Amino acid sequence: MTIRIALIGTGAVGRGILEALAGKDLGIILTGVADSRSGVVNPDGISPSEVLRRKKETGLCGDASCNAEDVVRNADYDILVEVSPTDAGTGEPATSYIRTALSRGCHVVTSNKGPVALHYHELKQEADKAGVSFRFEATVAGAIPILHTLLESLGGNDVHALYGVLNGTCNYILTRMAEEGLSYRQALDEARALGYAEADPTYDVKGIDAAIKLVILANTVWNQRITLDDIDITGIDLLTEEAIRLAEEQDATIRLIGEIIPEKQLYRLSPRIIQKDHPLVVQGSLNAIILRTDLAGDLVFSGKGAGSLETASAVLGDITFIRDWYAGGN
């Protein structure tokens, strides 16, 4: 079975999706694509390779007379794939694109955290009313299929707790401070130089990014209605070399760990001292998650939490899930 998609956003994630579509026969037909300055619509299909070529040569994915809103409103698609640059504090413009697609009776897949953290319950209700799917695997832990695992694969289990290293930038900084004795500032500058940290790293190092992921997990998996204000947040920006050294003397290290214990209504993110052989001690920019369940026991996941192709992997997983689910008449 084939399925038609419209892609909004051709940044790192969008580029990864286009590269995957160009290199694989996944039964996915691209009928619309837009970036921040242009767009193109073709019900007969658009070549992902041609979009990539044009974007590289001109900086535009399509015609400047066509924009993202035009594509969302007018393209002929089954799934809107929404990966546009979006303000995490407002969820826009992604939330508006998502609502338009749902109102058209189309499925939605997004990698944007803002709409899910801020408006999950309303968007899920709109999707249910329209009889379509709203999926967002790529919003948490990149290539690790943690939401699919929690929402589908562990049906019948009570998940009593989740512990996770959920921000690759922070994990890289902490790894380098421990391994090479770098100061926080030196490790941050190195992370910037390698592209692991933004020019303004506040969102990552103060724990906001990881905390938003905890909000998404709590609200979607445990049906909570919490906001960022409900998370007890401590970032790594005040961590000293002395703290790292003291941990090393105990054959331990420090990681920024998110924690959800739903029965206690506990939602916390903070640097924690843990032994070096602990499953959450992953290196570099990796993410790691432990789930504590009643039937399956403790489950451990690790993998790349960000990256163009890694995030595209999560998005494509959602697309193919929708394709196969609805092909089966569900």
Mean pLDDT, the chain cut into blocks of 10 residues (330 residues total):
95 96 96 97 98 97 97 98 92 97 98 97 98 97 96 96 97 95 94 87 95 98 97 96 94 98 97 97 96 98 92 97 79
Tell me, what amino acid is at 230? D
Q: What is the pLDDT of residue 326?
A: 82
For residue 86, give the CATH number of its domain. 3.40.50.720
Q: Do 171 and 216 have their domain in common?
A: yes
Residues paired with 5 in a beta bridge: 30, 79
pTM for this one? Answer: 0.96
Q: What is the pLDDT of residue 1?
A: 82
Q: Do 279 and 239 have their domain in common?
A: yes
Q: Do 169 and 47 have their domain in common?
A: no
Q: Do 300 and 314 have their domain in common?
A: no
Q: Do 100 and 242 have their domain in common?
A: no
Comparing C-alpha atoms, which of 149, 81, 116, 144 is closest to residue 314?
A: 144
183: which 2 tokens?
């100061």
Q: Do 138 and 53 have their domain in common?
A: yes
Q: Which residue range forms the structural domain that includes residue 298?
A: 148-304
Q: What is the pLDDT of residue 267?
A: 98
Tell me, what amino acid is at 163? Y
Q: What is the pLDDT of residue 198?
A: 82
Question: How many domains is the chain partitioned into structurally?
Answer: 2
Residues designated catalytic: 213
Comparing C-alpha atoms, which of 11, 46, 51 is closest to residue 32?
A: 46
Q: Do 114 and 164 have their domain in common?
A: no
Q: Do 270 and 201 have their domain in common?
A: yes
Q: What is the pLDDT of residue 24?
A: 94
Q: What is the pLDDT of residue 330?
A: 58
For residue 293, give the CATH number of its domain. 3.30.360.10
Q: Do 177 and 251 have their domain in common?
A: yes
Q: What is the pLDDT of residue 274?
A: 97
Q: Do 174 and 276 have their domain in common?
A: yes
CA 50 to chain centroid, in Å, comes to 26
Q: Do 79 and 46 have their domain in common?
A: yes
For residue 45, give Cα distances in angstroms to 71, 131, 181: 13, 25, 53
Q: Do 191 and 243 have their domain in common?
A: yes
